[in-house]
């Protein structure tokens, strides 16, 4: 198993473990088959692809729509709520939501294969499903809050009841004349936007609560993945570290 520098991949001389050969990586097996095993470099490549694709699908459409909105060219179709599985998302985020749900499964598969390759308990892969679970719970709570707030804001005003004057007081004394309140202008009023429907307010409130919860939980899982799972040695033997830079002694020992 002695592999000199550059023999596996001339463009990546630091790869010295033949199990990490990029040319031997099977993407379909790595992302879709939970019954096999995946080496550390193949796992890192798959995880990086899923992570960067999520960021691109969220930031790029959001920034484009924001710029169009500032210029007054963004049509309402971008922010229209669209039913997606069990949640409702703005139309501009449908590709991001679809890719996120898909990569929750592929990430679970990749983690399962990596843990199996490193001789660790494969049930630990359920950790990658925690952010999505917490995000769905927060989304459900947020939509309920948004719907309740909309109903409260649009509830008909309660009828005012006039109190009878106390003994010894006249009606004029009991109810003094209302003095007109001076209104202060704080600049020219902007054009009034269309009021949000109950569904739109529920969706916006749900997303506003779910996205931070999902992002924070995903950050914790990302740290666990990069600091532990991606550093597990191939075959479960050897030190916990990054890269594929086996020493000659480790190569001779069959690591």
Residue 107's SS3 state is helix
With vertex at residue 79, the alpha carbon angle to CA 105 and CA 152, rounded to the nearest 5 degrees, is 100
pLDDT at res. 218: 93
Give 81's strand partners: 90
CB-count exposure of residue 86 (10 Å: 0-12, 13-18, 19+): exposed
Give the number of C-alpha atoms closer than 13 A to the C-alpha of residue 148, restricted to the C-beta side.
7
Q: In the predicted model, what is the mean pLDDT of residues 32-42?
A: 94
Q: In this model, does residue 232 exceed pLDDT 80?
A: yes
Locus of tokens 């909309």: 150
pTM of this structure: 0.75
Confidence class for position 225, pLDDT limits 50, 70, 90: very high
CB 9 within 8 A of CB 187: no
Q: Give the span between the Cα atoms of 231 and 240, in whole angstroms.
A: 5
- Give the mean model confidence (pLDDT) for residues 19-41: 93
Strands (E), the chain: 81-84, 87-90
Sequence-distant (≥ 6) Cβ neighbours of residue 58 within 8 angstroms: 93, 96
Asked if the model's pLDDT at residue 182 lies above 50, the reply is no
Average pLDDT along the chain? 80
Once rounded to an integer, what is the mean pLDDT over residues 103-120?
A: 95
186-204 residue pLDDT tens: 444 444 456 667 677 777 7
Of 50, 56, 95, 89, nearest in space to 218 by CA: 50
- Distance between CA atoms of residues 54 and 9, nearest Å: 29
Q: In this model, does residue 173 exceed pLDDT 60? A: no
């Amino acid at each position: 198993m002695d592999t000199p520098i550059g023999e596996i991949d001339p463009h990546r001389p630091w790869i010295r473990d033949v199990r990490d050969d990029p040319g031997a990586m099977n993407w379909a097996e790595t992302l879709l088959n939970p019954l096999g095993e995946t080496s550390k470099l193949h796992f890192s490549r798959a995880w990086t692809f899923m992570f960067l694709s999520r960021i691109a699908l969220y930031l790029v459409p959001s920034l484009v729509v924001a710029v169009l909105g500032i210029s007054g060219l963004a049509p309402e179709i971008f922010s229209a709520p669209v039913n997606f599985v069990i949640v409702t998302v703005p139309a501009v985020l449908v590709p991001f939501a679809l890719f996120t749900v898909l990569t929750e499964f592929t990430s679970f598969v990749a983690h399962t294969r990596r843990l199996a390759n490193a001789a660790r308990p494969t049930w630990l892969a359920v950790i990658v499903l925690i952010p999505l679970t917490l995000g769905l719970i927060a989304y459900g709570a947020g939509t309920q809050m948004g719907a309740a707030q909309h109903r409260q804001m649009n509830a008909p005003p309660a009828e005012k009841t006039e109190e009878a004057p106390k003994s010894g007081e006249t009606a004029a004394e009991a109810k003094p004349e209302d003095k007109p309140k001076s209104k202060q202008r704080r600049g020219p009023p902007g054009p009034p936007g269309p009021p949000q429907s109950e569904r739109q307010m529920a969706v916006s409130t749900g997303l506003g609560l779910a996205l931070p919860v999902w992002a924070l939980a995903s950050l914790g899982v990302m740290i666990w993945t990069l600091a532990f799972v991606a550093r597990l040695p191939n075959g479960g033997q050897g030190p916990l570290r990054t890269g594929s830079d086996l020493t000659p002694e480790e190569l001779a020992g069959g690591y």
